[in-house]
Structure 1
Amino acid sequence: MTVVVWVVAAMLAVAAALALVRIVRGPGPLDRMVGLDVLLSCLIGGLGLEAAANEHGSTLPVLAVLALLGFVGSVAVARFAAGEHDSDGGVDGRPR
């Protein structure tokens, strides 16, 4: 199992490095947000790999909080980028 752990850890490290490149060189804020999401996913995967390799479940609450944080952050940025709110204050484009 040690070889599998090292291979997966190497793949996660490469993915995290490529995500850092996307964060630094991303042409727009949405590209940077995608890079942050991938980086957070790599972090979650790394913590899960560590928990599986050491056969303990004490990091499960941390993994759940990180996943929730990533989801809420992505939804917030997507709503901001979509520009759903108009000048009347209505969400769906109809006046109140």
Structure 2
Amino acid sequence: MLKFAIVLAFGCIGTALLLNFWRLLRGPGPTDRILALDTMYVNTTALLVLLGLHLDRDIYFEAALLIALMGFVGTVALCKYLLRGDIIE
């Protein structure tokens, strides 16, 4: 039963990742594209956690943590660039 739930979650999150990628490419504005990129980081983190559960490996959880951290820093930098035009003051 758990294997079926993990496979179903892979499908749902994979579909969400593809839809976010479509929004990243076709977004009407830069804020929509940044939001799609941030959501893609979250979906990638979720996929890595699911893969770690499926394969019973701990290394995927560490990779998910690093991607989440890099995604947060990247989103903050892009938002600051959009608001002020400069990242470092």
After TM superposition, the score normalised by the length of structure 1 is 0.80
Dislocated runs of 4+, deviation >2 Å: none
1:34-78 deviations in Å (ceiling 9; x for gaps): 111111211111110010112221122211210111000111111
Secondary structure of 1:63's partner? helix
**Cα distance in 2 for residues equivalent to 1:2 and 1:21:** 29
Displacement of 1:12 in angstroms is 0.4
Question: What is aligned with 2:20?
Answer: 19
Secondary structure of 1:59's partner? helix
Q: Which AA in structure 2 matches 1:46?
A: L
Question: What is aligned with 2:57?
Answer: 56
Which of the two has higher C-alpha Rg?
A: 1
Displacement of 1:84 in angstroms is 7.9
Q: Which AA in structure 1 matches 2:39?
A: V
After TM superposition, the score normalised by the length of structure 2 is 0.85
Q: Which AA in structure 1 matches 2:22?
A: V
Runs of 5+ unmatched residues, structure 2 = none
Question: What is aligned with 1:65?
Answer: 66
Q: How does 1:1-96 map to 2 (within 5 A)?
A: 1-83=2-84
Kindly tell me the number of residue pairs found equivalent between the two proteins.
86
Between the two structures, name the one with larger relative contact order (CA 8 Å, sep ≥ 6): 2
**Cα distance in 2 for residues equivalent to 1:56 and 1:13:** 20
The alignment-based identity, stated in percent, is 26
Q: RMSD across aligned C-alpha pairs, in angstroms?
A: 1.7
